[in-house]
Structure 1
Amino acid sequence: MTDQNTHRLQPHRRYNPLTGEWLLLSPHRTQRPWQGKTEDAPMVQITEYDSKCYLCPGNVRMGGQQNAEYPGTYVFDNDFKALTDCEQPYSEDEDGLFRSESTDGTCRVICFSRKHNVTLAEMDEADLLPVIDVWKEQMTELSEKYRWVQIFENKGEIMGCSNPHPHGQIWASDYIPEEPYKEDLSQKAYLEQHGKNLLVEYLAREKDKQERIVAENTEWLCVVPYWATWPFEVLLAPLRPTLRLQDLDDAQQKGLAAIMKELLVKYDNLFSTSFPYSMGWHGAPANGENNDHWQLHAHYYPPLLRSADIKKFMVGYEMLGCPQRDILPEQAAELLRNQSTTHFRMKRQ
């Protein structure tokens, strides 16, 4: 840290302009810059096909449906949907104390690859393009009926993912959920107050500062955001104004495949493990309104703290007060940025 930034080593708060929330930083709890303890996780051998896997090609799922013999990326309706179209709409409100309403929605599953043992980090860059194509197609189709389409991935058992076959999910709803709703309000307020797009301006400032960048190319920027809550959280966004996933052009799509590959390999290399995370896309809702205040972006929220088996827990003060972190975002970005772009499994071969 430079002298002008010594204040960062003291307890301080940082503001998240996307949500309007604050978090507490306590960097004095790690007096010396942490160099990153690495523990090689056991190399679990997973076969390319698992006859007991509900997501492998041709297998019968728990609900009784059979998967197609799909060659690449595959989408199907979730057999146990968290959202369904309501048959009997209703609304209740007792003085704001007992309030509920029905919802319409649907849920789908995306298998990224037919291979049971290959995560996005280990897929070739060219094989990530069809995944992005499917994301765009699903967003386009579901946005015709639903106001919000949430594409996300929970990777790793530690994130509640019980099936190791590489897959993501889509939940579409007739309402805008809490997190994107807060982002909608904040981005709109920033545009009205400053006359600029919040995230487009933020990305430009991050490029100037060069402190929290993890990866970049001509179309995309990946940073540990100034307000990051999770130790190795990143924000990924296009540099050009872009409202939604389906608006990406060919150059942006190729750039996204390249930077996703780079980020995910760096993640895995940090602790020599298949790095767990929850990630998801946020873009302008399908509400028929002017959404120029929006900028497409993805959030990656990994839980790991200091090694492959040490997790950051949101407990105590975080649950009752506000989020808190010890490792500065600037330090986390440097650790990720300095990781090799060659996957650690390839080095062991």
Structure 2
Amino acid sequence: MKKTTTRLADGRELVYYDLRDDVVREEVDPRPLESTATSSEIRYDWLRDEWVVIASHRQARTYHPPADECPLCPSREGRHSEIPAADYDVAVFENRFPSLTGGPGPAFGGEVPDFPTRPGAGRCEVVCFTSDHDASFADLTPEHARLVLDVWIDRTAELSQLPGVEQVFCFENRGKEIGVTLGHPHGQIYAYPFTTPRTQRMTAAAAAHRARTGRNLFDDVLALEARDGGRVVVDAEHWIAFVPHAAHWPYEVHLYPKRRVPDLLALDEAACAQFPLVYLDLLRRFDRLFGTDADPTPYIAGWHQSPNVPDIREEFALHLELFTIRRTSGKLKFLAGSESGMSVFINDVPPEAAANRLREVATP
């Protein structure tokens, strides 16, 4: 992997990741862009014990542009995009409309204010998986998918070192049904200035399990799922993928390395080498569930990594969660009153049935 760092016209960082070492990146962004001026803040919710990001400038972000005006495609004569190059393998740049931006805000000293508010410090990046506008992650070759994994690892390493960053989240949203506003195959990375609510719940559960049993919660869950086998979708040498016993979504798969590690940086070469084959297999199974070329399966895929908190890192297990909001052909799972109002999910598809269906659609 060759890494080349440059700057866009407004000062944002752009990083090319190339499969070939002989690629030279000298393109300059010719657009007359002014320096980006964004501001966000995070507000503390007393009742939920969590932070909420307020980012009003995102109302102006690009929304479903025509394919020939895609800002993530390579630039060409007469039309300049966020990527000045005429082609690329993987490109990463700072989001022009970030939810989080800037350095850390001042910590509260002494008395906590009635309405705790801090600057929305952090960083949001866009990861363009390929220059091919009409492709998807599932269309990548194993070599290219491995490059994306190496990019996630590299970005996690860099963003974790930024002042004030506490957790890094690499994820992909695919499909208009999910809310995606750019059709080009891409993902995002958020570097949060706090530990996310989802991670807080998992780590609290892990701590309680350790106190109760003396064992690691994630290790026990993997052992139980492997022994039961009824919800296992893929059981490879270094990875295991299963539909969780209490899946929230109609088709939801959790992918774990069999050797517990806290984050992407701790994966060994054997796990990294096998990941593209396992992950591409899972994505293609999702597409074969009820997707078509004209209407591919919408999904969210995200890496759950340990925050930069020593005690948590010792207990946390890196894993990827992949799920679709489609519950059957032509029907979506909407978050209605129980889910949105009370966080009590009601799943229309039994996890065992979902796992069986995902096994059925494996490549012959």
Name 2:166's counterpart in structure 1.
147
Name 1:121's counterpart in structure 2.
138
Counterpart selection for 2:334 from 307, 313, 316: 313
Q: State the 1:89 CA deviation.
A: 3.7
The percentage of counterpart residues that share the same residue type is 32
Matches within 5 A, 1:43-122: 51-58=68-75, 65-86=82-103, 89=106, 98-122=115-139
Distance 2:168 2:76 in 1: 28
- Name the SS of the counterpart of 2:313 in structure 1: coil
Distance 2:320 2:108 in 1: 33
The 1:320–1:73 alpha-carbon spacing in structure 2 relative to 1, beyond 3 Å, is: same
Name 2:302's counterpart in structure 1.
280
- Name the SS of the counterpart of 1:200 in structure 2: helix
In the alignment, does 2:187 pair up with 1:168? yes
The 1:305–1:140 alpha-carbon spacing in structure 2 relative to 1, beyond 3 Å, is: same
Contact kept, 8 Å, 1:231 with 1:325, in 2: the verdict is: yes
Matched to 2:155, the amino acid is Q
More RCO (CA 8 Å, sep 6+)? 1
Contact kept, 8 Å, 2:167 with 2:305, in 1: the verdict is: no
- Name the SS of the counterpart of 2:116 in structure 1: strand
Name 1:34's counterpart in structure 2.
none
TM-score computed with the length of structure 1 as normaliser: 0.77
Contact kept, 8 Å, 1:93 with 1:99, in 2: the verdict is: no
- Name the SS of the counterpart of 1:85 in structure 2: coil
Distance 1:171 1:320 in 2: 25
Name 1:225's counterpart in structure 2.
244
Q: Could you give the per-residue CA deviations for residues 179-207 of structure 1, whole angstroms, max 9, x where no partner exists?
A: 11211222222223222221122111111
Contact kept, 8 Å, 1:92 with 1:98, in 2: the verdict is: no
Aligned length: 292
Matched to 2:281, the amino acid is E
Matched to 2:141, the amino acid is D
Q: Could you give the per-residue CA deviations for residues 145-186 of structure 1, whole angstroms, max 9, x where no partner exists?
A: 221111111111111112111100011022111111211222
Name 2:274's counterpart in structure 1.
255
In the alignment, does 2:363 pair up with 1:341? yes
The 1:91–1:325 alpha-carbon spacing in structure 2 relative to 1, beyond 3 Å, is: same
Distance 1:87 1:240 in 2: 34
In the alignment, does 2:254 pair up with 1:235? yes
Q: Could you give the per-residue CA deviations for residues 283-335 of structure 1, whole angstroms, max 9, x where no partner exists?
A: 2112344621110011113100111x210111123233411113210011100
Which ranges in structure 1 are unaligned for 5 or more consecutive residues?
A: 1-48, 343-349
Matched to 2:191, the amino acid is A
Matched to 2:216, the amino acid is N
The 1:196–1:70 alpha-carbon spacing in structure 2 relative to 1, beyond 3 Å, is: farther
Distance 1:66 1:235 in 2: 33
Distance 2:320 2:264 in 1: 10
Distance 1:164 1:207 in 2: 37
Matched to 2:291, the amino acid is S
- Name the SS of the counterpart of 1:234 in structure 2: strand
Name 1:179's counterpart in structure 2.
198
Contact kept, 8 Å, 1:228 with 1:329, in 2: the verdict is: yes
Distance 2:269 2:146 in 1: 10
Distance 2:117 2:109 in 1: 5
The 1:339–1:143 alpha-carbon spacing in structure 2 relative to 1, beyond 3 Å, is: same
Which ranges in structure 2 are unaligned for 5 or more consecutive residues?
A: 1-65
Matched to 1:300, the amino acid is L
TM-score computed with the length of structure 2 as normaliser: 0.74
Matched to 2:117, the amino acid is S
Name 2:26's counterpart in structure 1.
none
Distance 1:87 1:95 in 2: 18
The 1:63–1:98 alpha-carbon spacing in structure 2 relative to 1, beyond 3 Å, is: farther
Name 1:326's counterpart in structure 2.
348
Matched to 1:166, the amino acid is P
Matched to 1:336, the amino acid is L
Matched to 2:98, the amino acid is K
Q: State the 1:50 CA deviation.
A: 5.0
Matched to 1:104, the amino acid is A
Distance 2:322 2:189 in 1: 16
Q: Could you give the per-residue CA deviations for residues 51-98 of structure 1, whole angstroms, max 9, x where no partner exists?
A: 4211011269x9975433342111111111110125864759998863
Counterpart selection for 2:234 from 215, 230, 238: 215
Distance 2:113 2:251 in 1: 39
In the alignment, does 2:129 pair up with 1:131? no
Matched to 2:320, the amino acid is A
The 1:65–1:224 alpha-carbon spacing in structure 2 relative to 1, beyond 3 Å, is: closer
- Name the SS of the counterpart of 1:325 in structure 2: coil
Q: Could you give the per-residue CA deviations for residues 16-39 of structure 1, whole angstroms, max 9, x where no partner exists?
A: xxxxxxxxxxxxxxxxxxxxxxxx
Q: Which moved more, 1:125-134 or 1:272-281?
A: 272-281
Distance 2:214 2:303 in 1: 25
